[in-house]
Structure 1
């Protein structure tokens, strides 16, 4: 098993390094480093398909895992690509990185893009564990994983949809979205994204060494809470609408959904 594990991991790493190098080159004429997010999202289905096609695991279970990742990552990647096309400008956190780095920005972005490639390979360990398991039996772990996956995919799609509808209304310019899922969590999209990784870990727990799969949701939670998720997103929000966003912070949970502490002024309480 471990020979196949390291061999397929090496293949996956080469694929992701090449993909991110291509996107890094492309970001110069586009003048938009936000495409790294698209590459991150679409790279995961690419790894899942690679592992399912080349791994020695049970075909039905391997391709079920691949389908789970394709549907999740394909939707997310498409959503991010459409947002870049629609807005036509680089996301705020990447503009801040340019301002902070000042010199050798291109080289630093190359390291950043390749760090995302490495992150994809690490996160894809649960996919690989499933695709290395030759046993045909399905277990309760697989059923639990599929059920939670459905909740995660639907929840993240709904959160993205609610925010997109809010932003399209000119009357909401400069305001903070506090409707629907966004009244229960300041980052419901991140919460359901993390829930996807919990679902994947559950599904992979039925495979040998399945406990390793739980490193992925733990790693993703760390990045969302402390690195590339909530901190830069909230810094951007505070820089453009500080007073309104601080009030939103006082009312609404940062990550795990819960009822808001009080009703936003002028808006009904939603669930």
Structure 2
């Protein structure tokens, strides 16, 4: 495996993602809606996919397989987020409104750094993808098939969870209520769980590649971010602000992340 070439691909990807996020920051500043960063965080991964596919030197069939997985998953997420954000471009999501309040006059400057950090995180998280695409072995391993199977489960799980929540929010009769139907009955954040499981699929897939064990960094970072930083905590705070009584009751009975049976109160 040519590690210098891998670094070159990572550097090209980083430059591309940073440029994209700078342009997105300019747009977000103009429309006063930082929520667009979520959309382009997801859409940066297809950009990395295209760059890596054409520059990497691994086995063609494997590249098509991992590129297809990566491209399909992140395009679906990006399009889903775009539909969610584009519907209220004039109304910023609560968590970003809160950040603006906390940062005050430094909000736009801090958001610039925040957007660039998202670009850096894109490249760091793509580590499994870089090394898998560089694997020149012509034999597809059982671990790669297992990774693909996990990916299929996680892809459809996240898509179903997102669609269930979108349908719930679309019904005006549900205003002020908590979505506890379908997968949301078993987890307060099933979409986050399946997003993490997607990254676990890439990790398992990478185990068939030399130094693939190091790919654990991606699902580990995703899990930390979802549970401790930008995922569950921000979402829970916003829900408690908007529907305190209903959501507190939901918290008492429903698993925060991993889908599980209801708890007794």
Fold conserved between structures, TM > 0.5: yes
Measure the CA separation in 2 of the matches of 1:58 and 1:177: 44
2:87 is paired with a residue whose SS is: helix
The equivalences for 1:177-216 within 5 A come to 177-216=179-218
Residue 246 (1) aligns with residue 254 (2): no
Does the aligned pair in 2 maintain the 1:166–1:177 contact within 8 Å? yes
Using the alignment, how far apart are the partners of 2:259 and 2:72 within structure 1? Answer: 24
Q: Distance in 2 between matches of 1:260 and 1:157?
A: 22
- The answer as to 2:79 corresponding to 1:75 is no
For normalisation by structure 1, the TM-score amounts to: 0.95
In the TM superposition, residue 102 of structure 1 has moved relative to its aligned partner by: 0.3
Paired with 1:3 and 1:33, the residues of 2 have a C-alpha distance of 36
Give the distance between the partners of 1:36 and 1:68, measured in 2 at CA.
Answer: 22
CA contact (8 A) 1:52 1:59 kept: no
Matches within 5 A, 1:72-221: 72-88=73-89, 89-221=91-223
Question: Aligned-pair distance for 1:167?
Answer: 0.7
Answer yes or no: is the 8 Å Cα contact 1:174–1:241 preserved in 2. yes
Listed one character per residue, the Cα deviations across residues 158-209 of structure 1 (whole Å, up to 9, x for unaligned) are: 0000001111111100000011100100000000000000001111111111
SS in 1 for 2:209: coil
Gaps of 5+ in 1: 264-271
| Separation (CA, whole Å) in 1 of partners of 2:26 and 2:42 | 18
CA distance in 2, matches of 1:61, 1:19: 28
1:32 and 1:159 mapped to 2: Cα distance?
Answer: 25
1:229 matched to 2:231: yes
Displacement after TM superposition at 1:30 (Å)? 2.1
Indicate the residue corresponding to 2:42 in structure 1.
41
- Structure 2 CA distance, aligned partners of 1:85 and 1:4? 38
CA distance in 1, matches of 2:172, 2:27: 32
Gaps of 5+ in 2: none
Query: How many aligned residue pairs are there?
Result: 263
TM-score (norm 2): 0.97
* CA positional deviation for 1:4: 1.1
Distance 2:123 2:40 in 1: 13
Of the structure 1 ranges 54-63 and 120-129, higher mean CA displacement relative to structure 2 is found in 54-63
Which residue of structure 2 lines up, in the alignment, with residue 15 of structure 1? Answer: 16
Measured in 2, the distance between the counterparts of 1:83 and 1:237 equals 17
Equivalent-residue separation in structure 2 for 1:139 and 1:163 (angstroms): 37
What is the distance in 2 between the residues matched to 1:168 and 1:262?
Answer: 30
SS at match of 2:205: helix
